[in-house]
Chain A
Amino acid sequence: MSDQISIFKYVHKSQTVLRWTITLLITLAISLAFATMNLSGQISSSKKILNALSPYIMTQVEVNDRIEINRILNSVTKAEDSKLVLVKDGKVFSTTDATLELDLPFSAPLIKLQLLDGLFTNNEIIVINTLKRNDSSSASELYLYSPLTPIIKKTVGIMAITILTSILISILVSFRTRRALRKALQPLSQLHDEIRNLKSNSTDASMPIKIKELEDIRQTIISTRDELEIANEKIAKQKAKELNAESYKRLIHDLHNPVAALRQMVRIQTSPDVDDESKQEALESVPVIAEEILQQVTAAKKNLENESNNFDEVDLRNPPISGKLSLQILNN
């Protein structure tokens, strides 16, 4: 009994795992989609910046105007919060980072991952553009470093918002589900009441149930109840008949001796061989015997009346113990 839970809790509980799974899956999917879009957008934007800068930078490289290149790169990175490095002949020609790096050999970044046209280090996304004229043998490279942290922060932020939103939606759905469940269970409760009423033989009015299947059950219960009542009556009548027969039998049995005795008294009265004293005794015992017979008949009549009433009250829906009928009246 202790393992039993209400259908409401059962249904509600069975939804929990699904609900949380869906929440997490939605969160992951949205976060992943956002991160991918964001990264892709960042890389695409970086590529566009480099493509836009490259022709002008290439010209400045050709005329060796580092100062102009520095100005351009610095103005770009101020707006973009990133870092630009121009590498020429393996050396840092221009950089928006520390000027200390200028003219020193360029240390290529340690790439951890290549994805979506971008190169990833531990904390940066790098996009590279090669600057080369068709008629030139030498080439320079322009590196654009964008910090990964803002993208991660945005993704984590989106993730957090999605989780919160999903949880809120989940809770809201849960509340609505509970209400719907409760409402859905009302017909069952109603059916339950119907069945209970059937058992307690209540005379309360039976209301129709909106759920078709449950209404069918209710109708079945009602018709079954009616049939049970009819069957009950029949059985009661049958039993009454049986009891009546039994009573008659008893009566006949009980009347046999006194009637036989009465016949004997009559024979004594009419027999020439019997003395007058005996005849007088016999005559005196006739009213006694007749009284006994009358008592028997009266008792039998009374029994028949009582047993019929008792049989009417037996409820087949709630039969007596061991199923035997009570014949206590016959013992009176």
Chain B
Amino acid sequence: MLKLFFTFLITLIWISPPCSANTYVKSMYSLPLTFDPIKMNDVASLAAANLIYDGLLKFSPSLEIQEALAESWSTSTDGKTLTFKLRPDIKFHDGTPITADDVVYSLARAVTPESTVRKYYDCIQGVDEKNGTQDISKVGIRAKDFRTVEIKLKNPFPAFISILAGATAKILPMKYKDTKAFFDSPVGSGAFRFSSTDTANKKMTLEAFDSYYQGRSKLDKMVLVESSEVEAIKMARKNEVLDLVSWPLNPKDPVFQSGKKITSPVTATWIIGLNTKVAPFNSLEARKAFKKTLDNEGFRKKFYPDAYQAFGYIPPGLPGYIDGTYIKTVPTKSSRSKVVKQKITIVIPQELSDANEMKAFLEDNLKGNGWNVDVVPMAWDKLMEGYAKKKHQAFLVSMNMDYPDAEFLLRNFESNNPDNFSGLNNKKLDALIASSRNETDKVKRATLYKETIKLLDDSSVTINLFHPRSNYWISNCVNGFNPNVLSEVYIDYTKVSIDEACMKNGGKI
């Protein structure tokens, strides 16, 4: 009898569909590297944070700024004071009510010296732009009452609202401020609460938050699964994962035969970044020569033919975008005298399905022109570690816009920005960025951006490969999926549901 029972149980497990009916399994190139909003710099962490946490504001799919935890906000006539009114009856996952003090605490963390995102908040009064500010009492963020928060800026800066809608301005419970292991099991107020991490199987489980202010999500659970692109595609074919949003798929990838293809522009630029602190790229001449040699258009056509040619650093649809009439970059064979013999290592994410082909392409292209180049596929976390520590000579990454303003992309190249991956130190560029920040006239601002881009291009710290067009693979069983033009980070999974019948049918409609 017992034997029969176990046989039955095993059969039941065996015939169960890969995903239970209302559990959304999402494949990612990496699990979140951190749950601390002020230390996030990678898409996986930002995407997970957007599920677990909430901010005062949020982005709609078309980048309209909408209320989130704040039910309303207002700006003073001089543009320097922002006042936010919190919704009543909002709670953290542990049931604690969210108050203005929690908001002050969370935003104040963002301006501390250990914050890697403080550059976005240094417009707040009292914040030291170079080193950040530890003493919260000096910072222009305060709770006026239980539900009202006031933020004072040094100067009017309309783009700051985008920061508060972004992935780093998340509200944390102040009561855990002294809990060291808080981020091992974070408590937020987002649509999903952290449940568990299975390090061995590289899985993280989130559960729907019943008291979410917008109403409970249609999904009961989300499971984030770390894998390579090749593994992710295999799982997708078997309907074991429900989207491949993390992966920049080619539109002709065969995986689309077994699911839905949702194509959308996304504000990003794939680049090969050059580190001016590491030889030979500490030489402008070397960087220029290297940039001229690399066949970026060939790279685009081979690997991402539906992506847009990148003439500048800023993606299309943003002030500062440059089309082909402004800068013409034509790969030419450089004269041998300009080629540097020193070995150059370009690191690329090994999780890309075409990593080996990309390696071969780049090496062929550059070696064929006399460069001593080695392309190294590297695990993403290692790549990001080297990026943060500015150890890589050159690296292939997608620079995603965290906020819909070119300001935040260009700031990466400010001399005093800790996130300046290139190590570029150009005072003129710094001045241009500062001028554009203070310019209220949009046309003039766009002109300043273009001048900044031109200067950046002349500095040759990035080789702009292309602006991608995302081709998202979505399971046939998923309904309500809506991409976000800014980034996959902001995809709203609270609107997503799963067709149970389709799941039972193995992903077939």
Interfacial residues, chain A to chain B (CB-CB below 8 A): 59-60, 62-68, 70-71, 74, 93-94, 96, 99-100, 102-104
Contacts of A102 in B (CB 8 A): 264-265, 317, 485
Beta-carbon contact of A64 and B317 below 8 Å? yes
Other 5 A-B pairs with CB < 8 A, given A67-B405, A68-B442, A104-B263: A59-B442, A59-B443, A63-B443, A67-B317, A93-B317
Q: Is B483 an interface residue (CB 8 A)?
A: yes
Contacts of A60 in B (CB 8 A): 442
For B317, B405, B442, B443, the residue with the greatest tally of chain A CB atoms inside 10 Å of its CB is: B317
Smallest CB gap from B65: residue in A = A71
Chain B 307-343, CB-CB to A under 8 Å as 1, else 0, gives 0100000001111110000000000000000000000
Interface residues of B in 48-79 (CB under 8 A from A): 61-64
Contacts of A68 in B (CB 8 A): 442
Contacts of A74 in B (CB 8 A): 62, 64
Smallest CB gap from B442: residue in A = A63
Q: Is B349 an interface residue (CB 8 A)?
A: no
Distance of A74 from chain B, by nearest CB (Å): 6
Given contacts A59-B442, A63-B319, A64-B317, contact A100 B62 (CB under 8 A): no
Interchain CB contact (< 8 A) of A63 among B62, B265, B446, B482: B446
A60 to B443, CA, bound (A): 8
Contacts of B405 in A (CB 8 A): 67
A64 to B442, CA, bound (A): 10
Interchain CB contact (< 8 A) of A100 among B264, B308, B318, B443: B264
Contacts of B404 in A (CB 8 A): 67
- 16 of the cross-chain contacts (CB-CB < 8 Å) are A59-B443, A64-B316, A64-B318, A64-B446, A65-B442, A66-B318, A67-B405, A71-B62, A71-B64, A99-B264, A99-B482, A99-B485, A100-B263, A103-B265, A103-B469, A104-B263
Smallest CB gap from B472: residue in A = A100
A161 to B321, CA, bound (A): 56
Q: Is B85 an interface residue (CB 8 A)?
A: no
Contacts of A59 in B (CB 8 A): 442-443
A293 to B509, CA, bound (A): 137
A173 to B198, CA, bound (A): 85
A111 to B404, CA, bound (A): 36
Beta-carbon contact of B485 and A64 below 8 Å? no
Beta-carbon contact of A100 and B262 below 8 Å? yes
Beta-carbon contact of B62 and A70 below 8 Å? yes
Beta-carbon contact of B62 and A99 below 8 Å? yes
Beta-carbon contact of A63 and B308 below 8 Å? no
Contacts of B263 in A (CB 8 A): 100, 104
A71 to B404, CA, bound (A): 12
A68 to B63, CA, bound (A): 9
Interface residues of B in 384-412 (CB under 8 A from A): 404-405
A70 to B64, CA, bound (A): 8
Q: Is B119 an interface residue (CB 8 A)?
A: no
In the complex, which range does the number of interface residues on chain B fall in? Answer: 20 to 34
Given contacts A74-B62, A99-B62, contact A66 B262 (CB under 8 A): no
Interface residues of B in 238-276 (CB under 8 A from A): 262-265
Contacts of A93 in B (CB 8 A): 317
Smallest CB gap from B321: residue in A = A64
Beta-carbon contact of B446 and A66 below 8 Å? no
Q: Is B221 an interface residue (CB 8 A)?
A: no
5 cross-chain pairs, A with B, having the tightest CB-CB distances, nearest first: A66-B317, A63-B446, A67-B404, A64-B321, A102-B265
Contacts of A67 in B (CB 8 A): 63, 317-318, 404-405
Smallest CB gap from B486: residue in A = A67
Chain B 432-453, CB-CB to A under 8 Å as 1, else 0, gives 0000000000110110000000
A251 to B404, CA, bound (A): 144
For A60, A96, A103, the residue with the greatest tally of chain B CB atoms inside 10 Å of its CB is: A103
Beta-carbon contact of B317 and A99 below 8 Å? no
A43 to B267, CA, bound (A): 35
Distance of A61 from chain B, by nearest CB (Å): 11
Contacts of A104 in B (CB 8 A): 263
Contacts of B318 in A (CB 8 A): 64-67
Distance of B481 from chain A, by nearest CB (Å): 11
Given contacts A74-B62, A99-B265, contact A66 B483 (CB under 8 A): no
Smallest CB gap from A70: residue in B = B62
A64 to B321, CA, bound (A): 7
Smallest CB gap from A100: residue in B = B264
Interchain CB contact (< 8 A) of B316 among A62, A66, A99, A100: A66
Contacts of A65 in B (CB 8 A): 317-319, 442, 446
A96 to B60, CA, bound (A): 12
A59 to B443, CA, bound (A): 7
Beta-carbon contact of A62 and B265 below 8 Å? no
Given contacts A64-B317, A64-B320, A66-B316, contact A99 B446 (CB under 8 A): no
A66 to B62, CA, bound (A): 10
A63 to B482, CA, bound (A): 27
A175 to B48, CA, bound (A): 77
Distance of B67 from chain A, by nearest CB (Å): 15
Contacts of A100 in B (CB 8 A): 262-264, 483
Smallest CB gap from B447: residue in A = A63
Distance of A31 from chain B, by nearest CB (Å): 39
Distance of B267 from chain A, by nearest CB (Å): 9
Distance of B199 from chain A, by nearest CB (Å): 36
Distance of A306 from chain B, by nearest CB (Å): 118
Distance of A127 from chain B, by nearest CB (Å): 22
Smallest CB gap from A62: residue in B = B443
Distance of B61 from chain A, by nearest CB (Å): 6
Distance of B24 from chain A, by nearest CB (Å): 21
For A60, A62, A96, A102, the residue with the greatest tally of chain B CB atoms inside 10 Å of its CB is: A102
A209 to B485, CA, bound (A): 90
A71 to B443, CA, bound (A): 18
Distance of A254 from chain B, by nearest CB (Å): 131
A219 to B216, CA, bound (A): 96
Beta-carbon contact of A103 and B442 below 8 Å? no
A103 to B317, CA, bound (A): 9
